[in-house]
């Protein structure tokens, strides 16, 4: 049996606000700490990061904690170069864009979506080019490519010419927190509101919700709109919705929270009548699964990976069609008007979301890595020098 060491790039954890990719990184790190602590090495750039600090960060101090400790050298424990010395199969796990290439015996990259290639207009030009180039390079230099949805897998094979046998799917998971939907929904003190989810950026297509309100301002008499999401790039909330917020009927009924913590988000979603997620294109659609897991009914785009998340067909709309959105919104409004109906729907969504777990997500990755390692000839013990390591053999032809 080959001795395996897992090298996880924890650079995504430098972000101050943990959404999406930092969360995925944290979940992989937690899994490795739980199941293979001795065989796990975390690294950040050229440095190895002490696992105890990673553990504290992912369990109780997300955000700037780890970054501060790394930047002050407190959390560092030698170089990646040194950690690579030894007789083992080095498996590099890259939760996002690869900062290094062909350093490990086996390299596995997670590709979340190809929006920078397929929808470059939804990114800043610099970011689109940078990510497009990175995806091309990553696919060319990786032994295994994990896509977070079938839609992304198909795009990676088609548009990047990846060999299908190297590309596999592992759907992301979500945290399944204890639910007491009955108690939460009976709150008469909370006015009915709909949550619109998503960072304020063009790809999230929040303009569709704006156009809906513009076309039917009377909807604000029945229900308020709460936009939850951090500021991104492009036209921001005030520009997108300024005119609506000046409409007498909609004033104080269309609100924007900016970034909220996970806890705050969960509370807001639990109290919402339902949520809307009109994104044009997603790699997976984590916010949708999070809503489902919290029992919050949601309507979302019939696009990209979102159809893989298991909502009823009536919960999907064409994100380019205001008419379709209005129809779907109206249906969900009717469906959730009665507490009893909404509660039933909540329970059903929680059940459906239960298939998406972080454990299953990482297990599929680890299984695939181990399958690949098993196909290799047993490692011949030898002490690799720094120079020979640069020429580590490619594990897979």
Partner 1 sequence: MTLYYSVRTRKALKERLGRLPLGLPHYSYGIVCGKFLKLFRDMEIQTVELPMPEIYPSYRSVGPRSLGTSKPVHLMFKAFDEFRLLKGAYNIAHVAWEYSNLPSFDRMPQFHSKRTHPLNDYVFALGLVDEIWVGCSFTRDTLLREGLSNVHVIAAPIDLPQRPVRSAGNESVLLDDAMLTPVQSVECARPSIVRAQAEDPAPTLGEGLFLRITDCKFRGGRVFLSIFNPHDPRKNPGPLLAGFQRHCQRHRPNDHLIVKILVDGKYNTLNDVLRVILPRRCRESLWSFDLMDCENITLVCGFMTDEEMDKLYCAADFYLCTSNAEGQNLPLLEAMARGVVPISPATTAMADYVTEDNSIVLPANEMPVYESAASAYGLFDARWYEVSTKDVTLGIERAVSLDGRALQAKRAAAIQTVGKRYSSAAITPLVAQRLSAIKETLGSDPELRADQHSMAAVQ
How many residues make contact with partner 1 (CB under 8 A)? 41
Cβ atoms of residues 172 and 111 within 8 Å: no
Phi, psi angle pair for 239, to nearest 5°:
-75, -40
Residue 142 found at the interface with partner 1 (CB under 8 A): no
Phi, psi angle pair for 96, to nearest 5°:
-155, -150
Question: Measured between alpha carbons, how far is 66 from 55 in angstroms, rounded to an integer?
Answer: 10
Residue 164 found at the interface with partner 1 (CB under 8 A): yes
Nearer to partner 1, 26 or 200 (CB): 200
In whole angstroms, the minimum distance from the beta carbon of 216 to partner 1 comes to 21
Nearer to partner 1, 245 or 280 (CB): 280
Question: Measured between alpha carbons, how far is 366 from 6 in angstroms, rounded to an integer?
Answer: 10
Question: Measured between alpha carbons, how far is 335 from 364 in angstroms, rounded to an integer?
Answer: 36
Nearer to partner 1, 135 or 273 (CB): 135
Residue 372 found at the interface with partner 1 (CB under 8 A): no
Which DSSP string do the residues of 47-79 spell out, in sequence order?
EEE-HHHHHHHHHH--SHHHHHHHHTTTTEEEE
Q: Taking Cα atoms as reference points, which of 365, 359, 364, 369 lies closest to residue 173?
A: 359
In whole angstroms, the minimum distance from the beta carbon of 332 to partner 1 comes to 18
Q: DSSP label at 252? A: T
| Interaction mask 74-93, partner 1, x per CB under 8 A | --------------------
Nearer to partner 1, 135 or 253 (CB): 135
Nearer to partner 1, 51 or 287 (CB): 287
Strand-pairing partners, residue 40, are 6
In whole angstroms, the minimum distance from the beta carbon of 141 to partner 1 comes to 14
In whole angstroms, the minimum distance from the beta carbon of 147 to partner 1 comes to 9
Q: Retrieve residue 320's tokens.
A: 């380019």
Out of 40, 142, 170, 266, which residue is the one contacting partner 1 (CB under 8 A)?
Answer: 170
Residue 336 found at the interface with partner 1 (CB under 8 A): no
Strand-pairing partners, residue 270, are none
| Interaction mask 296-335, partner 1, x per CB under 8 A | -----xxxxx-xx-------x-xxxx--x-----------
In whole angstroms, the minimum distance from the beta carbon of 128 to partner 1 comes to 8
In whole angstroms, the minimum distance from the beta carbon of 129 to partner 1 comes to 5
Strand-pairing partners, residue 106, are 91
Question: Measured between alpha carbons, how far is 196 from 274 in angstroms, rounded to an integer?
Answer: 9
Of residues 277-296, those binding partner 1 (CB under 8 A): 280-281
Burial class (CB in 10 A: 0-12, 13-18, 19+), 16: exposed
Residue 25 found at the interface with partner 1 (CB under 8 A): no
Nearer to partner 1, 96 or 305 (CB): 305
Of residues 96-125, those binding partner 1 (CB under 8 A): 117-121
State the CB neighbour count (10 A cutoff) for residue 46: 11
Nearer to partner 1, 37 or 330 (CB): 330
Strand-pairing partners, residue 168, are 146
Longest dimension (CA), the chain: 75
Element at 256 (helix H, strand E): strand 254-258
In whole angstroms, the minimum distance from the beta carbon of 90 to partner 1 comes to 24
Site of interaction with partner 1 (CB under 8 A)? 117-121, 129, 132-133, 136, 150-151, 153-154, 157-161, 164-165, 167-170, 202, 280-281, 301-305, 307-308, 316, 318-321, 324, 364
């Amino acid at each position: 049996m080959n001795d395996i060491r897992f090298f996880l790039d924890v650079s995504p954890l430098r972000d101050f606000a943990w959404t999406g990719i930092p969360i995925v990184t944290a979940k992989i790190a937690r899994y490795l700490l739980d199941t293979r602590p001795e065989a796990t090495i975390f690294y950040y750039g050229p440095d190895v990061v002490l696992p105890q600090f990673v553990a504290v960060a992912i369990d109780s101090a997300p955000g700037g904690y780890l970054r501060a400790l790394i930047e002050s050298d407190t959390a560092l424990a030698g170089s990646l170069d040194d950690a690579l010395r030894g007789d083992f199969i080095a498996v590099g796990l890259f939760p996002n864009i690869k900062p290094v290439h062909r350093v490990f015996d086996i390299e596995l990259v997670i590709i979340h979506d190809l929006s920078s290639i397929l929808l470059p207009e939804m990114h800043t030009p610099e970011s689109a080019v940078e990510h497009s180039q990175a995806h091309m390079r990553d696919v060319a230099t990786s032994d295994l490519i994990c896509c977070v949805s079938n839609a992304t897998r198909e795009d990676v094979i088609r548009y990047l010419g990846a060999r299908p046998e190297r590309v596999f799917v592992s759907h992301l998971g979500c945290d399944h927190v204890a639910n007491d939907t009955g108690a939460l929904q009976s709150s008469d003190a909370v006015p009915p509101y709909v949550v619109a989810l998503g960072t304020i950026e063009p790809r999230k297509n929040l303009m569709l919700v704006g156009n809906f309100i513009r076309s039917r301002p009377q909807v604000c008499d029945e229900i308020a709109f709460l936009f939850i999401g951090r500021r991104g790039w492009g036209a921001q909330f005030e520009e997108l919705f300024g005119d609506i917020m000046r409409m007498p009927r909609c004033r104080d009924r269309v609100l924007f929270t900016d970034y909220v913590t996970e806890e705050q988000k969960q509370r807001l979603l639990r109290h919402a009548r339902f949520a809307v997620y009109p994104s044009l294109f997603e790699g997976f659609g984590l916010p949708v699964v999070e809503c489902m897991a919290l029992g919050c009914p949601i309507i979302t785009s019939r696009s990209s990976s979102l159809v893989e998340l298991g909502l009823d067909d009536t919960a999907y709309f064409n994100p380019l069609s205001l008419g379709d959105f209005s129809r779907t919104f109206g249906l969900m409004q009717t469906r959730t008007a009665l507490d009893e109906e909404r509660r039933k729907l909540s329970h059903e969504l929680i059940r459906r979301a239960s298939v998406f777990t972080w454990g299953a997500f990482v297990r599929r990755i680890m299984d695939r890595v181990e399958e690949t390692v098993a196909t290799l000839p047993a490692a011949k013990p030898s002490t690799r020098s720094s120079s020979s390591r640069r020429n580590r053999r490619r594990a897979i032809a």
